[in-house]
Amino acid sequence: MKTQLRKWLSAALIAICILPAQSWAVGYTQTKYPIVLVHGLFGFDNIGPFGYWYGIPSALTADGAKVYVTQVSASNSTEVRGEQLLTQVKQILAATGAGKVNLIGHSHGGPTARYVASVRPDLVASVTSVGGVNKGSAVADILVHVAPPGSLSNAVLTSVTNALSSLINWLSGNPNLPQNSWAAAMSLSTAGSAKFNAAHPEGVPTTACGEGAYQVNGVRYFSWSGGSSYTNVLDVVDPWLLLTSAAFAGAQNDGLVSSCSSHLGKVIRDNYGMNHLDEVNQTAGIVNLFETNPKTIYRQHANRLQSLGL
The residues carrying an active-site annotation are: 107, 254, 276
Contact present, 125 and 89 (Cβ < 8 Å): no
> For helices 181-188 and 152-171, what crossing angle results, to 10°?
100
Sort strands 101-106 and 124-130 into parallel, antiparallel or unpaired: parallel
Cα–Cα dist 259/178, whole Å: 30
Of 123, 133, 119, 137, give the one whose Cα is nearest residue 199.
119
Half-sphere exposure of 2 (CA within 13 A, CB side): 0
Quick check: helix, strand or coil at residue 227?
coil
> Cβ distance 61 to 67 under 8 Å?
yes
